[in-house]
Amino acid sequence: MNPSEAVNLLGTTIHKMRMAEVIAACDESVRTRNPLLIGVVNVAKLVKARHDDQLRRSLAEATFIVPDGAPVVWLSKLCGCGLPERVAGIDIMSELLALASCKHYGVFFLGATRQVVEGVVEHVRRHYPGARIAGYRDGYFNREQEEDVAAEIRASRADILLVAVPTPKKENFLSQWRPSLDVPVCHGVGGSFDVVAGITKRAPLWMQRFGLEWLYRVWQEPGRMWKRYLVTNSVFVWLSIGEILRHRLGRVRPGAVPQGAAVDEQRG
């Protein structure tokens, strides 16, 4: 991937890719068996990555990183290095399942509770009948069980691995075992399994378009989410002011990727 097709926002490299390009890259990965790891960043990840070494290492291992939040796209445009569109992780998952159904690719589902992951598999069987269910299991395994989990995934001959395991467990597992999984496409899907299984609801389309999904999550889980989003969003706004000035005053050439970010990209 050409580094000129990426930008740097708040210290994170993000690629100028549309959804169609992401799915095309995944399709090629399956056809060539050339492994690919999808990275997505939203406001929370951009803020956290500034002081979380483990998250930065995880993002550096991704083949490419796309914006999983409308505010990230807005910031890029205000900085003069506009990303073409939001590419949400849950939408990538849906498009991958559609691709799998069309081309009969095998999908392995890893994460959430047993009930939730079974609900996801049942949903896929109904709505994406052409997809091969390579396997599935819940995300409740410890470090001693990781080798067995990796062996199960490898034996499934899956083409796509969808991982709904919390951070940092997901990052640690993929960092250690991804080279031996023999799965072309790996995608961390966060809480998408809960949405697909009907446990939680996604924000209405108009809220997604206006970057208000966080507000919908606060409304669903006020006790757990209000402080997290209040603090994170406030920090993001403050950091964004400095980032816009940095780009607009010419300290960052639009479309350029700092040397350290380019090195990280080569690792993908």
Over range 123-131, report the average pLDDT: 97
Residue 188 has pLDDT above 60, yes or no: yes
Note the pLDDT of residue 201: 75
Under 8 Å CB-to-CB from 195, ≥6 apart: which residues? 90, 201, 202
Which structural domain, as residue segments, surrounds residue 122?
A: 3-215+226-262
In tens, the pLDDT along 235-258 reads 999 999 999 999 988 765 544 444
Over range 16-20, report the average pLDDT: 97
Residue 212 has pLDDT above 90, yes or no: no
Q: Is the dihedral of CA 98, 101, 106, 107 positive or negative?
A: positive
How many alpha carbons fall within 13 Å on the CB side of residue 13?
Answer: 30
Least confident of 5-9, 13-17, 207-211, 249-253: 249-253
Confidence band of 267 (pLDDT split at 50, 70, 90): very low
Task: Give the residue, 157 or 213, on which the prediction is more confident.
Answer: 157
Q: According to the per-residue pLDDT averaged within each range, which of 16-30, 49-63, 206-220 is highest?
A: 16-30
Least confident of 16-25, 57-66, 218-227: 218-227
User: If DSSP codes are grouped into helix, strand and coil, which group holds residue 142?
Assistant: coil
Over range 134-151, report the average pLDDT: 96
In a domain, 130, yes or no: yes
Residue 168 has pLDDT above 90, yes or no: no
Cβ neighbours of 53 (radius 10 Å)? 8
Domain count along the chain: 1
Contact 72, 9 (CB under 8 A): yes
Over range 25-52, report the average pLDDT: 94
In a domain, 267, yes or no: no
- C-alpha 22/C-alpha 27 separation (Å) is 9
Residue 6 has pLDDT above 60, yes or no: yes
Cβ neighbours of 154 (radius 10 Å)? 15
In a domain, 27, yes or no: yes
Contact 112, 102 (CB under 8 A): no
Q: Where are the alpha helices (DSSP H) in 66-202?
A: 70-78, 89-103, 114-127, 146-156, 169-181, 192-196
Mean pLDDT of the chain: 87
